Amino acid sequence: MAKLWGGRFTKGTDKAVEDFTSSIAFDARMYAEDIAGSKAHATMLAKQNIISDADRDAIVEGLTKIKDQIDKGEFPFSVALEDIHMNIEKRLTDDIGEAGGRLHTGRSRNDQCAVDLHMYVRKAVVEMGELVVDMQKALIETAEKYSDVIMPGYTHLQRAQPVLFGHHMMAYFSMLERDFDRLLMVFKHADIMPLGAGALAGSTYGIDQTYTQKLLGFSRIYENSMDAVSDRDYVVEFLSFASLVMMHLSRLSEELILWSTNEFNFIELDDAHCTGSSIMPQKKNPDVCELVRGKTGRTYGHLLGLLTTLKGLPLTYNKDMQEDKEGIFDAIDTVHFALSINAAMVRGMKVNGAHMKAVLDDDFSNATDMADYLAKKGVPFREAHEIVGNAVHHCIEKGCVLLDLSVEDFKAISDHFDADILDAISIEACIAGRNNYSGTAPECVERQRNNGKAVIVGEEKQIAQWKAIVESVQA
């Protein structure tokens, strides 16, 4: 098949080279963006009298038909034509003749490819934003549903202090709030138009980039044409967002895996989100959680891979930059799966609050509160710490916990203890007493939930703004 760029060559491309350099297998998913960019470019060319109105109309009509064919799965993609851009342009020229050959006037595949990816990433940010918000909603819903449940909080995976289950859930909400904030920067840097940069130096035609910018809904145009075709910072930033959100979901997955074991027995995942064993009939495996945890490393790989690819590239475009797409496409698919399935799992799981409370009644998670009690009586905290440590040691030897001791036992340990000590170190008191702004007291967690709902309102307004921009561009 003759290449659209083959005039300088005296022989055809080796088949192995065609297979190695082709990107159509993965960049075909940008067809809508490529067609939208080409329609805008043709419209601008006609406005500037670079092509005729008749050519513009033929191009736009031809591209519309091609999009319809691709939508229906009726478009035969060719590896020999390398990528989505050349596949569409060749079909257009075959369909409408010379007018199709004029479409590429005043642009290069370098700025064409770049504008496609910018638009695709903008669209992906909208999708990711919606999924992050739905996950945040699932966390708030679960925190409200189990608002009275008290659970052990951990450090070093050892029971440390009691916390409300809702407090634990809202910690993940805060992580996702930061993830959403990162999307703001991704969209900002994806929302810059490279079209008009040409191969690297701009165009000798009298093109109107501002008009094309308006048609494609971009907020800005790259100041520098060399930067325009070589910039992939926004892709790196998206992969950074993807890596961080996957890390947060992986941490949650790890906890769900632990909590669903018989050893913890804190939760039960819904059957719909688990699998069985081919040999052990009793098994209920948290495979989804394990896959999210596993796919996190894969997402990290895409980030590190692109950073490594870009680090040694001279300006401007190099074929290495074709490696920007497979990673981000896979990351988009992976994060989509992870966020959507985690939201469903959190909504569907059952929380064994009674068992969580029973665990706390049988351990020393209230020891810090006992030390605080003494410190509030005027005992230096380090001395109080030692007194409580000795009391814990005493209980371990007797096979009991602090709440099993009598007031007389406490007074024998230290004359700073009074009759109110047992009330002061009850699990409920430990929760209620931590009522500082970011604490786990019920009123604090309720405020966190209410603030979270307000955050979601703001995030949904931002998504609506992004969506309006993306949907204003019609392919």
Hey, what domains does the chain have and what are their CATH numbers? Answer: 16-105 (1.10.275.10), 110-203+222-358+445-472 (1.20.200.10), 364-433 (1.10.40.30)
pLDDT digits (tens, 9 = 90+) for 261-275: 999 999 999 999 999
Strands 220-221 and 192-193, how do they pair? parallel
277 in active site = yes
Q: What is the pLDDT of residue 252?
A: 98
Tokens 């805060």, residue?
174
3-state secondary structure of 155: strand
Q: What is the pLDDT of residue 26?
A: 87
Specify the range with the lowest mean pLDDT, choosing from 9-23, 43-57, 135-149, 278-292. Answer: 9-23
Round to whole Å and give the CA distance between 146 and 241: 30
On whether the CB atoms of residues 466 and 187 are closer than 8 A, the answer is yes
Q: What is the pLDDT of residue 433?
A: 96
Mean pLDDT of 104-117: 97
Examine the pLDDT at 100 and tell me if it is beyond 80. yes
| Mean pLDDT, the chain, whole residue set | 95
pLDDT digits (tens, 9 = 90+) for 130-139: 999 999 999 9
Q: What is the pLDDT of residue 4?
A: 59
Examine the pLDDT at 1 and tell me if it is beyond 60. no
Cα end-to-end distance, the chain, whole Å: 28
Residue 367 CB partners (closer than 8 Å, separation 6+): 388, 389, 391, 392, 402
Q: What is the pLDDT of residue 456?
A: 98
On whether the CB atoms of residues 120 and 30 are closer than 8 A, the answer is yes
pLDDT digits (tens, 9 = 90+) for 382-407: 999 999 999 999 999 999 999 999 99
Mean pLDDT of 167-194: 98
Examine the pLDDT at 193 and tell me if it is beyond 90. yes
Round to whole Å and give the CA distance between 121 and 443: 40
Tokens of 304: 């590190």
Residue 268, strand partner residues = 350
Mean pLDDT of 187-212: 98
On whether the CB atoms of residues 182 and 237 are closer than 8 A, the answer is yes
pLDDT digits (tens, 9 = 90+) for 317-366: 999 999 999 999 999 999 999 999 999 999 999 999 999 999 999 999 99
On whether the CB atoms of residues 211 and 179 are closer than 8 A, the answer is no
Cα–chain center distance at 48 = 41
Examine the pLDDT at 204 and tell me if it is beyond 60. yes
Q: What percent of the chain has pLDDT over 70?
A: 96
Mean pLDDT of 119-135: 98
Examine the pLDDT at 3 and tell me if it is beyond 60. no
Q: Which of 4, 41, 34 is nearest to 113 (CA)?
A: 34
**Beta-carbon count within 10 A of 264 CB:** 16
Tokens 């006037």, residue?
105
Q: What is the pLDDT of residue 23?
A: 87
Cα–chain center distance at 366 = 37
Tokens of 9: 């060559």
Out of 277, 406, 438, 472, which one is annotated catalytic?
Answer: 277
| 58 burial type by CB count under 10 A (0-12 exposed, 13-18 middle, 19+ buried) | buried
Q: Give the alpha-carbon dihedral of 80, 81, 84, 87, to 10 degrees.
A: -120
pLDDT digits (tens, 9 = 90+) for 405-461: 999 999 999 999 999 999 999 999 999 999 999 999 999 999 999 999 999 999 999
On whether the CB atoms of residues 140 and 223 are closer than 8 A, the answer is no
Residue type, 114: A
pLDDT digits (tens, 9 = 90+) for 9-28: 666 767 777 666 678 888 99
Examine the pLDDT at 66 and tell me if it is beyond 90. yes
Round to whole Å and give the CA distance between 25 and 28: 6
156 in active site = yes
Residue 138 CB partners (closer than 8 Å, separation 6+): 342, 343, 344, 346, 347
Round to whole Å and give the CA distance between 103 and 107: 9
On whether the CB atoms of residues 219 and 251 are closer than 8 A, the answer is no
Q: Which of 288, 341, 344 is nearest to 138 (CA)?
A: 344
On whether the CB atoms of residues 136 and 173 are closer than 8 A, the answer is yes
